[in-house]
Structure 1
Amino acid sequence: SSQAEISTWILFYAGILGVAFGSVYYHMKPDNNRVLWDTLPVDSGGSTARPARALVQALMMVAYSSLFSSLVVERIGQRIGLGCMCALLFAAFTCIVYERIYDDIRLCLMFQLILPLAIAAVAYMYPSNYTHSTYWFSSIGIYLLAKLEAVSDKKLYRANNYVISGHSLEHVCLALIPFLLSVMLICRERKFKRYLMMVILDGLFSFM
């Protein structure tokens, strides 16, 4: 992997760790003052909770931006990917400033919805140089499922006889995404290298 790819992936995992810390912090002692460290509800939760919400939003948007940029670096090119990274981080900063001024998180929510869809589009339109590229689509599918579970929180809770809530299922799905992407990074290899090895082995067996 190139240095640009490594940098974007490091930033992605840093953002994920920050969001995970916020979630753990809330669940250790759930209350209304901590809930914004775990979720991003439409209700602002009061002015005292806004800094926490802004921090969680920033970390999530950094994770989304770096993940999209890593895909662009891999599929399209380093210069374009790093340019996307800078542009997306600026857009994320703008969304956070807008939210802080107007107490309106709609731009942040749009940012978090559009980028995963853009990841799916780029992954579909541009072929990968690596194996295990289907993990991108699996991750996006799980992300969309997680958001559906979050929206249907109470309905799912009633449907399974109050065993597990939609919010809890959302956490399970979201935790699967970095796990799947980590498996992809560990297992993948360049297609040309794999093809070359197959040709060499085929030649050896033919010679024997």
Structure 2
Amino acid sequence: MEIYKPILPPAIRTPIWRYAALVVLIVGSLLWILSLDPIAQNTAYHSFADTRELFGIPNFFDVITNLPFLIVGLVGVWFCLRAQVGAIRRAWIVLFFGVGLVSVGSAYYHWNPNNGTLVWDRLPMTIGFMGLFVALLGEYLGNRIAVLLLFPAVALGLATVVYWHFTDDLRPYLWVQLAPLLTIPAVMILFRSGYSHQWLLIVALGWYVLAKVTEAYDVAIFLNTQELLSGHSIKHLLAAAGSYSILVMLQRRKHLE
């Protein structure tokens, strides 16, 4: 399939200052977050609004709303495996592999929320975040970037969760979430993609931002929906919609001449 055919990105002819701006943004965000005081895990984080048990499953809706991640992850990996072999393809596979694992890790965490189970929720999320981060850099800056960074980036992401687990300092983990969110608009402004349908990346970013908003208003949303769904349950659905938007982009896009 041509959507993953390696191409020489237009960024090759881009002025050097654009590369410098991207490096400053990524490295600067890391230095900024590390300059903050250590950020401990809020002990109230594990107190969710909807604790209803159904069919013997505790916190049923927070558990079951992880199913869309599994569906998107499996379909995404299957779709990417059908495509032409290439470094960027592997990065997209890592993204969807991480999305699929999120369904398992997050469901496990919400079954019994505590810091120990939260590790297994966050590990797959870092796989997905770093897969997306490297895929974007590879597609806008060149395949070689993806070859060089994919596995070190994933290892770094996993290490930030381990670091948090043993030090109770969330700063590196938060940067792993922040980096792809900054990279999406930055690469779209600074560089030109060789593919169509890049606007769906902004749609995906929008879904994720909405997901974080509903997460913050977990209790309020639960009460205002007459205890139908909590903000955290809706967060899962919106985040899965963001992942699905990226899958749709890959399915529909074409090479630009």
TM-score, normalised to structure 2, is 0.62
> RMSD of aligned C-alpha atoms?
2.0
* Deviating more after overlay: 58-67 vs 15-24: 15-24
Does residue 111 of structure 1 match 2:176?
Answer: yes
Number of the residue aligned with 2:104? 21
Give the match's secondary structure for 1:191.
Answer: coil
Q: Deviations over 1:83-130 (max 9, x none)?
A: 332442243243123213213334313321332222232233222111
* Structure 2 unmatched runs, 5+: 7-85
In structure 2, do the counterparts of structure 1 residues 99 and 23 end up closer, same or farther at CA, with 3 Å as the change threshold? Answer: closer
Amino acid at match of 1:138: V
Structure 2 counterpart of 1:139, from 185, 204, 218: 204
Shift, 1:182, TM fit = 1.3
Distance 2:179 2:216 in 1: 17
1:62-81 superposed matches below 5 A: 62-81=127-146
Q: Given residue 200 of structure 2, which amino acid in structure 1 is its aligned partner?
A: Y
Structure 1 residue 165, shift from structure 2 partner: 1.4
Provide the residue aligned with 1:183 in structure 2: 248
Q: State the match for 1:102 in structure 2.
A: 167
Q: Name the aligned partner's letter for residue 128 of structure 2.
A: A
Is 2:226 aligned against 1:161? Answer: yes
Gaps of 5+ in 1: 36-44, 193-208
Number of residues paired by the alignment?
174
CA distance in 1, matches of 2:243, 2:161: 24
TM-score, normalisation: structure 1? 0.75
Q: Which residue of 2 aligns with 1:54?
A: 119
What does 1:82-101 correspond to in 2, within 5 Å?
82-101=147-166
Distance of aligned partners of 1:160 and 1:55 in 2 relative to their CA distance in 1, 3 Å threshold = closer
Identical columns (%):
29
